[in-house]
Amino acid sequence: MQLARVLFFVSVALNITISRVCHADASLPPVLNSYPKCEYQVLQQAEATDKTVARDDVVEAAKQTLRQNAIVKIRQQAAAISAEAVILTDVQGVISNSESLRTIRHAGAEVRYRVAAELISLCQEDQDLPTVYTPYNNAGIKQAQTRQASGGATMQFDIAIPVKPHQTNNEAPPLVNTISLQQGFYGAKIGMTPGQIQASFGMPDAELTLQNDYTVWIYGQEHQVVFAGNTAVAFSQRNNILSAEIKKRMVENPRFQQLDWRLDNTFSRRATLAELKAFYQDKLIPLDQNRFALHNEQSAITLQFASYLDVKTNSNQLQLVDVSLASAQFMASQLQLKLPEPDSLLLLKQHLTTLGTATEAGSFAVPAIAFFNRSRLADGSELIVLGPALALSINDNRIVGLTVTNIAIDYAISDIQQQLVSLDLPASRADFMTRFPEAFDSLSQLTLYGDHSEVKATYDDDELIDSLYIRWY
């Protein structure tokens, strides 16, 4: 009888919610079915979730209701920042039939929906451009067709916005495709100032402050410039400070990644060690089995090789994979991240105490912490490195995410475990499920959808958490 009452009230709640959604649309920014035909501005990334428990015979109705509820929450966020429209970028539904949910409170299936979106401002459209459909329509349904001729295109709203002024393009000039001791690295040379580097390379995508007055600028995910004070002392095609886990989240920079460079105007990537030895002869100095160097009194070029199978000869060959240029006095081992004092993280720790609870407030203002390291991420936010295993994601001066993983290269799971414990976050699968009993456990990944946050963690064979990511919205 008690179970029947629970499911009855769930069904009634769904009907009430559907009614509320149907009448919540008029005053909120619209969800677009196609992209604006102009250079619109993304004001903010947004996420929203909704969840309920439903009988098997009302699951489909629950899915539709929760999807619409989450979309309404997104539109309310858009209205709160004066955005003029919404583009849905991701819509995910999860139905759980886990035995752990078979309680009186969780009778039936638990249904959750998560919606991600861009909140945008509009602009004067060019109707001669073709219509390009958004990934999801205004009902949150994935759109199979992506493009149609402009003649048959109609927008679902009518709004007149003045044409925005064209912004001047301040991009740096094309990169020089040469690396050499005489000509430098892509046109930049050892001894240049930050202003001179910026004039050649453009604004960096990441800036890291290191110990001992070193600074590193990163372009894209890999290319880096090292400054000692205000002097460039090293250039590299390989980011040897941040981990692969972090680099894959950073923005890409096609100017650097797609450059067809030449070593001494002769050799490109995948040139064989045999070819370089024949060309440079005794000028090519071995450093170890896979690294060789060219140098003069002022600077040195380090060549990194890797083994590849030559299908013609069915034998392995050492081939050139990346190149770096540095002053003769520079040592890469000197590069250590400068980090905030541990006491400055107390406010962050206090905010985490409400994680996943009804009192959680979502994203929050950036505390008064001396941040030294900022990297642009592909999702439009910035990554702030607070420790070798800790980083924050910041958008519009608010903390929207937290990452505990191997931020810097060569940090072990013990460092991640220590960081989790210091923040009073769960360090094992058992701890996670105890603190968040409503979490999902699938394929060594734990997921919790809260009202204002999403928490994901992975664990190893010993069920120790080796990465944890929180996103607030």
pLDDT in tens, 149-184: 333 333 232 222 233 333 333 467 889 999 999 999
Q: Supply 362's token pair.
A: 């979502």
Least trusted range by pLDDT, from 97-111, 277-291, 326-340, 372-386: 97-111
What pLDDT sits at residue 204? Answer: 93
Lowest-pLDDT range of 181-185, 265-269, 375-379, 443-447: 375-379
Helix (H) or strand (E) holding 333: none
Task: With a cut of 90, say whether residue 385 has pLDDT above it.
Answer: no
> 178-334 domain in CATH 3.40.630?
no
pLDDT, mean of residues 85-107: 61
Q: Is the pLDDT of residue 296 over 70?
A: yes
pLDDT digits (tens, 9 = 90+) for 391-413: 888 888 888 899 999 888 766 78
CATH number of 2-152: 3.30.110.70
Q: What percent of the chain has pLDDT over 90?
A: 37
Where does the pLDDT of residue 27 fall: very low under 50, low under 70, confident under 90, or very high at 90 and above? confident
pLDDT tops 90 at residue 272? yes
pLDDT, residue 276, reads: 96
The pLDDT value recorded for residue 370 is 60
**Fold match flag (2-152 vs 178-334):** no
Q: Where are the beta strands (DSSP E) in 4-130?
A: 41-54, 85-96, 109-121
Distance CA 34, CA 135 (A): 9
- Residue 121 CB contacts under 8 Å (≥ 6 apart), including other chains: 40, 41, 43, 83, 84, 85, 161
In the chain, where are the structural domains located? 2-152, 178-334, 342-472
pTM above 0.75, yes or no: no
pLDDT higher than threshold 90 for residue 197: yes
28 burial class (0-12, 13-18, 19+ CB within 10 angstroms)?
middle
